[in-house]
Chain A
Amino acid sequence: MAFAVEARDVEKRFGGVRALAGVSLAVEKGEFFALLGPNGAGKTTLISALGGLVLPDAGSLAVMGHDVQRDFRAARSAVGIVPQEIVFDPFFTVRETLEIQSGYFGLRDNGKWIDELLDRLALASKARANMRSLSGGMKRRVMVAQALVHRPPVIVLDEPTAGVDVELRQTLWSFVRGLNAAGHTIVLTTHYLEEAQQLCTRIAMMKEGRIVALDSTANLLASFSERVLRVKLARGSLPPELEAGAVAAPGGWWRVPVEDVAHVESVLARLRAVGAEVASLEVAEPELEQVFVKIMRREDAA
């Protein structure tokens, strides 16, 4: 069975910069996959290579088993890419834009699906508005609709929520979740790591054109992130054995690492033993952000 997306040893140089230094990666059909990394890690270059906008120097890419160079028609029909930058054609209305985009994929009678897209992306009232007159968030939604006119099995979103308000972000994610539930494979890049943590089942982290981590979200969190007990004392102080591992946080909080919930119990017992009184406490779940920072630091050190 072919993968939804497969990259094999993809290399790309722009002048002296190695944008992709041998990237291999496979995304299964139906996955919700995140591609994370700092700016300049090569995420957008990889996505562009997948869409044929960038021609790799070496290696190969395939979408649903179709090579993006040799079998470009099948490959490009199978993928819908939402580019990172907001771009639009000022000559046309929203509806014209979507009708034209459908035509590029050889779809002549796509009205029903266009109506549905407009409806689900809350654009129906703007269907006859010129693209120029839309706000940035609306233009972004039109771009999402443009990437979906041909109902591609693979959908790639390159930082779709950068600079987007909360409401739109939520509309967008519930829409994309629905598409994923309906069987579409989703590949996503974002700088909002909590979004990736909530949405994605598997994560690849890139740095300087390489994949530096690739695992399920759960495994990454388990192996790189720890639970933390956040505790604030009304009276007394931390016993020395706890203080050694703890980190002071603003507002009188302490962050005490814990392994699991049972461990919390023993921490509290020790606090009681030294007569400290707890004013407030919470158990912080593992965060992808910590994982990300640790992996990037590890790479810096290496």
Chain B
Amino acid sequence: MTGFPTLLYKEVLRFWKVSFQTVAAPVLTTLLYLVVFAHALEGHVQAFPGVSYVQFLVPGLAMMAMLQNAFANSSSSLIQSKITGNIVFILLPPIAAGEIFGAYLIASMVRGLVVGIGVFAATLWMIPLPVPNPFWVIAFAVVGCGMLGTMGIIAGIWSEKFDQLAAFQNFLVMPLTFLAGVFYSMHSLPPFWQAVSRLNPFFYAIDGFRYGFFGQSDVSPWVSLAIATGAFAVLSWSTLLLLRRGYKLRH
């Protein structure tokens, strides 16, 4: 562990220096979603008994923002470093693959969590939530951000151009988050789409996260945690393998 603390510090500082764009902007976007969907759908959708639609919406939207920002952090940092060429300053020092992985991952998780905290800070005074199980809230926030931070590293390593990264974001990350039950309970879907949703690892992150707030969920939080953690583990292992082999980084 020589370069890890500094690389982590640099990655956090990188987004923090432009926090207006990397934290404030996604919080605002999330609030806009909240206002628009709450207005349009309040009274039409009853997800959980005893939980208003607006309340139901907040954790899902917060998690969506967290996932997207965790992904954006590692992927944009890597692609920018690759395209501008300053990635050499990370590749030339004696930093091991595991250290690079850990630093990019944790910085992504920090960004995701900060955005999540921002969303709750902005909404809690209007929309109070019960939070009977804070353990689940924290566990799913961490695992969800970890999963997407790792995916961001893979996307950043794989992409050679910004439009390739944008494709990854628009055709994989966006659909998976939007169709992960942010706006509805999975039980409201026809059986086929319920089955499809169960293949989406993001769904478990959001469903389990919501359990922490309401004590209710579509799937047992233990199952969700196992699946989300499993997905995170597989992604992490693959990422480490890519980094060790120097895939698209060391030619």
Contact = CB atoms under 8 A, between A and B. Distances in A.
Interface stretch (B92-100, B202-210, B220-228, B229-237): B92-100
A87 B85 contact: yes
Contacts, number: 82
B88 interface: yes
A23 B61 CA distance: 57
Given A51-B91, A81-B92, A89-B86, 13 more contacts: A48-B251, A52-B91, A52-B250, A53-B91, A53-B251, A54-B250, A73-B94, A76-B93, A89-B89, A90-B84, A101-B93, A103-B3, A103-B9
Contact of A105 (B2, B13, B17): B2
**Which residue, of B10, B13, B246, has the highest number of chain A Cβ atoms within 10 A?**
B10
A169 B18 CA distance: 36
B251 A100 contact: no
Contacts of B9: 100, 103
B5 interface: yes
Interface in A81-106: 81, 83, 85, 87-92, 100-106
A74 B17 CA distance: 33
| B86, B91, B246, B251, most chain A CB atoms within 10 A | B86
A105 B3 contact: yes
8 contacts: A52-B250, A53-B92, A83-B88, A89-B84, A89-B86, A100-B10, A101-B89, A105-B94
Given A103-B6, A105-B2, A51 B81 contact: no
A54 B94 contact: no
Interface in B3-56: 3, 5-7, 9-10, 13-14, 17-18
A86 to B, nearest CB: 8
Interface residues of B, number: 27
A113 interface: no
B138 interface: no
B250 A105 contact: no
A95 B251 CA distance: 30
Contacts of A90: 84
Nearest to A131: B86
B90 interface: yes
A76 B88 contact: no
A85 B84 CA distance: 10
B8 to A, nearest CB: 10
A194 to B, nearest CB: 29
Interface string A37-60: 000000000001001111100000
A46 to B, nearest CB: 13
A89 B17 CA distance: 13
Contacts of B5: 103
Contacts of B96: 72-73
A51 B246 CA distance: 13
Nearest to B93: A104
A10 to B, nearest CB: 14
A146 interface: yes
A73 B4 CA distance: 13
Contacts of A87: 84-86, 88-89
